[in-house]
Structure 1
Amino acid sequence: MRPQARLQAAIEILDQVIEAAAHQGAAADTLVQRYFQTRRYAGSKDRAAVRELVYGAIRFTAERPYSGRAALIGWLESEAPDQLALFDGSAHAPSPVEPFETRARAILAPLWLEPAMRARFGEGFEAEARALTARAPLDLRVAPGADMDEVAAELGAVPVPGLPRALRLAEPRPLERHPLFEAGAVEVQDAGSQHVVAFAAARAGETVIDLCAGAGGKTLGLVADMCGEGRLIASDTDRTRLQAMGPRLMRARCDAVVEPRLLNPGREREALADLEGAADLVLVDAPCSGTGTWRRNPELRWRLTADRLARLTHVQARLIDLGAWLLKPGGRLVYAVCSVLAEEGTDQAQAAAARLGFALSGSRALTPLSDGYDGFFVARLDKPGETWLS
């Protein structure tokens, strides 16, 4: 592809991303893959170059742009103005840039959300917001049976301070066919997610419920901390994600320990009735805005609305109450969201403690700027009853 054609391809993909963001459609990564599936003539360098253009434009502005062309022109004017000369109207090239046509502006956070984020971060808002959309490293969780030093040397990775089984690669690379991945020695998992698992502190012999298990990333960490002893129920309302857990459990040799359980939305108690008051630990890794993962999914800024955030906080409160119902006296509920917003973090945990009569015994907020992780909030709520020995 000529450089001009790469620009036009980026514009076409960005148009699709903008449309998908407006209607909760496919993710940007999926749209990029689909685009090139029907354009076999594009080589690996072409695909990499177009992807760079697409994500550069997405990261540039937090407000959903008028068009893909407006997004790309705005970003290029700011970061690579020499490339605007390639908008020359030649074959497969964008038409020339007009002086007064619409351009995207550099915006760090959605305008409607900026007051809440400024209240959350204060004078550090701009630095935190930039860190939230910077490129993310690739973090790995090393299985207990694998040698950390050997894995690190093999992959050229470095340890993540404070997490005993976490490694980090400065540059992302495909690992799906690497022998270490196929053998279950490593799993891709952000260090923030690993911190949530460590905060939960699952123990051997416990009954543990991963209430919103998804594809099982945190489930695998909980199993490792339990040393394969006890009972772990991994539940979710998303059949596709829950099914994706199976191969991961088999690769990690945990399929005999974990009990996947599909739930019906709004009728979760029916499927979990046998576990009422039985759990030592319930992890509620709740659906959330994803504001803490903007550096991995920057187009999420174009998808989030005030109405959607309000619906999410309602779901979070309902799931916390469900988790509390599953706990035995003296059990602990660990609530986590990959969000940096107080509405989903501190406010939600404090409201739950007051509503349920639980003790809020600890919490932590993580951000890319302060911790080098995705943004997370995690809190522990203790149910009254027998004291859990810590």
Structure 2
Amino acid sequence: MPPKRDCCGSDPMTPAARLAAAIDLLDAILEGAPAERALTNWARANRYAGSGDRAAVRDHVFDALRCRGSFAALGGALTGRGLILGLCRAEGRDATALFTGEGHAPAALTADEAKHLASPAPPREDLFTSDWPEWLLPQLRADLGADFAPVSEAMQARAPVFLRANLAKTTRDGAAQVLATEGIETQPHPLADTALEVTAGARKIAQSQAYAQGLVELQDAASQAMLQLVDLAPGARVLDYCAGGGGKALALAAAFPKAQITAHDIDAGRMRDIAPRAKRAGAKITLAEPGKVTGQYDLVLVDAPCSGAGTWRRTPEAKWRLTPARLAELVALQAEILSHAAGLVAPGGRLCYMTCSLLDVENAAQIAAFAARGGWESTAHLRLTPCDGADGFFGAVLSRI
């Protein structure tokens, strides 16, 4: 029987050929190539690779980056080949049967590789500990406390995909039903009454009618949970100060259709998707000119630039690029942004600070330093880790007094 063709009509790559492609890509990434660019260039140069092949190779690459330290230990080397050998060992796959050197398979195992794969694996705690940057370990242990081990283990796995049901157009159950007709299976998530966790068909979302019609938006459950701590009176003036693509502004517009919502970002390019997203969602959002936002607002959101440590399951490359100097720069920038944003809060108004970080220096310590200046009272906060079923996240709501 001939091999089953993928949806693009090409014969699928063998599992071994997919591993070989991932090895080459990982070598390029370890030498400094951005992961997304490397994957895009590989797909363009290898048109024979169908959608299933591209997805499989991508998964191998990101699994290896996510578990770079542990896979290198299991595979015997911090190289593309070592990481993929580690992946095979972690998944219980027979590397000897895959590394044959035949066709497009990786070269056969060397004697040293075979000996290493046959040796006892390091203790489990040593494996997940090695998947953090070494310089960050003392800080993570202190900040996470008893949660360090379970969070470290959870960070080795792929992150779930979440959708936010757009309450301006549908209910969560209604969105789930429409998605199901398109082969996208979901389940409600307890962190927010708008949150749907995608359990099957995630790669179909962008082309689905549910997405095109604005019934759903991609948004992590942690962000959705944080926004549910916010209540707005009709006509409330809201500023999303670091709006980026506008996900949080869109969520508030859906929950509070009578609010007056303005989005701002210092980089106009990051806001380019807000207008089409708002149109699709049926929301009204005003865009402020970068760096020139004025006025006073009843609520100012600050989704601050941060290390992104809570999202490193999604962007594993980033954790290996973070340095102590860059973290210090981010902490200073967060303090500066908080000061600027605070000046835009009306008397009696609120300031909502958020990061997708697990690090206290960006979270509770940052807020404590800000509140110590006086004039603010903390009224709510949220701290989540991947053990809660979402990204790592911190949020605090402060009221001007």
- Shared fold (TM-score greater than 0.5)? yes
Aligned length: 366
Is this contact kept in 1: 2:223–2:248, CA < 8 A?
yes
Which segment is superposed worse, 302-311 or 67-76? 67-76
**In the alignment, residue 325 of structure 1 is paired with which amino acid?**
G
Q: Write out per-residue CA displacement over residues 105-139 of structure 1, whole angstroms, 9 at most, x where no aligned residue.
A: 94232111111111122233111111123222221
**In the alignment, residue 153 of structure 1 is paired with which amino acid?**
Q
Is this contact kept in 1: 2:220–2:391, CA < 8 A?
yes
- Shift of residue 260 of structure 1? 1.3
Give the direction of change, closer, same or farther, for the CA distance of 1:356–1:211 in structure 2 (3 Å limit). farther
Structure 2 residue 202 is the aligned partner of structure 1 residue 195: no
Which segment is superposed worse, 31-40 or 312-321? 31-40
Is this contact kept in 1: 2:350–2:399, CA < 8 A?
yes
- Shift of residue 352 of structure 1? 0.7
> Secondary structure of the equivalent of 2:238?
strand
Which structure is higher in RCO with an 8 Å CA cutoff and minimum separation 6?
A: 1
Is this contact kept in 1: 2:232–2:259, CA < 8 A?
no
Give the direction of change, closer, same or farther, for the CA distance of 1:62–1:223 in structure 2 (3 Å limit). farther
| 1:248 match | 277
Is this contact kept in 2: 1:76–1:84, CA < 8 A?
no
Structure 2 residue 211 is the aligned partner of structure 1 residue 184: no
Which segment is superposed worse, 152-161 or 211-220? 152-161
- Shift of residue 347 of structure 1? 0.5
Give the direction of change, closer, same or farther, for the CA distance of 1:97–1:237 in structure 2 (3 Å limit). farther
| 2:187 match | 158
| 2:182 match | none
Structure 2 residue 390 is the aligned partner of structure 1 residue 373: yes
Give the direction of change, closer, same or farther, for the CA distance of 1:225–1:148 in structure 2 (3 Å limit). closer
| 1:53 match | 60
Structure 2: gaps of 5 or more residues: 1-12, 180-184
Q: Write out per-residue CA displacement over residues 124-173 of structure 1, whole angstroms, 9 at most, x where no aligned residue.
A: 31111111232222211111221332222232322222422222222323
CA–CA distance in 2 between the matches of 1:198 and 1:315?
Answer: 26
**In the alignment, residue 109 of structure 1 is paired with which amino acid?**
W
Structure 2 residue 135 is the aligned partner of structure 1 residue 128: no
RMSD between superposed Cα atoms in Å: 2.4
With normalisation by structure 2, the TM-score equals 0.84
Q: Which among 301, 310, 316 is matched to residue 319 of structure 2? A: 301
| 1:68 match | 80
CA–CA distance in 1 between the matches of 2:18 and 2:236?
Answer: 55
CA–CA distance in 2 between the matches of 1:30 and 1:194?
Answer: 30
Give the direction of change, closer, same or farther, for the CA distance of 1:219–1:346 in structure 2 (3 Å limit). same
Give the direction of change, closer, same or farther, for the CA distance of 1:37–1:203 in structure 2 (3 Å limit). farther
Q: Which among 33, 37, 44 is matched to residue 44 of structure 2? A: 37
CA–CA distance in 1 between the matches of 2:29 and 2:231?
Answer: 39
Is this contact kept in 2: 1:146–1:185, CA < 8 A?
yes
| 1:387 match | none
With normalisation by structure 1, the TM-score equals 0.86
Q: Which among 119, 124, 138 is matched to residue 142 of structure 2? A: 119
Which segment is superposed worse, 315-324 or 67-76? 67-76
**In the alignment, residue 95 of structure 2 is paired with which amino acid?**
Q
**In the alignment, residue 122 of structure 1 is paired with which amino acid?**
G
Q: Write out per-residue CA displacement over residues 231-274 of structure 1, whole angstroms, 9 at most, x where no aligned residue.
A: 211011223220111210110122xx3111242xxxx3xx12x3
Is this contact kept in 2: 1:77–1:84, CA < 8 A?
no
**In the alignment, residue 302 of structure 2 is paired with which amino acid?**
V
Structure 1: gaps of 5 or more residues: 385-390
Percent identity between matched residues is: 40
Note the 1:79-98 alignment, pairs <5 A: 79-98=91-110
Give the direction of change, closer, same or farther, for the CA distance of 1:49–1:323 in structure 2 (3 Å limit). same
Give the direction of change, closer, same or farther, for the CA distance of 1:380–1:69 in structure 2 (3 Å limit). same
Give the direction of change, closer, same or farther, for the CA distance of 1:3–1:224 in structure 2 (3 Å limit). closer
| 1:382 match | 399
CA–CA distance in 2 between the matches of 1:379 and 1:54?
Answer: 35
Is this contact kept in 2: 1:59–1:299, CA < 8 A?
yes
Is this contact kept in 1: 2:382–2:396, CA < 8 A?
yes
- Shift of residue 230 of structure 1? 3.6
Is this contact kept in 1: 2:99–2:109, CA < 8 A?
yes
| 1:226 match | 256
CA–CA distance in 2 between the matches of 1:203 and 1:191?
Answer: 24
Is this contact kept in 1: 2:229–2:380, CA < 8 A?
no
Structure 1 outlier segments of 4+, above 6 Å: 101-105
- Shift of residue 353 of structure 1? 0.4
Which segment is superposed worse, 159-168 or 289-298? 159-168
CA–CA distance in 2 between the matches of 1:98 and 1:354?
Answer: 61
- Shift of residue 62 of structure 1? 4.8
CA–CA distance in 1 between the matches of 2:161 and 2:14?
Answer: 31
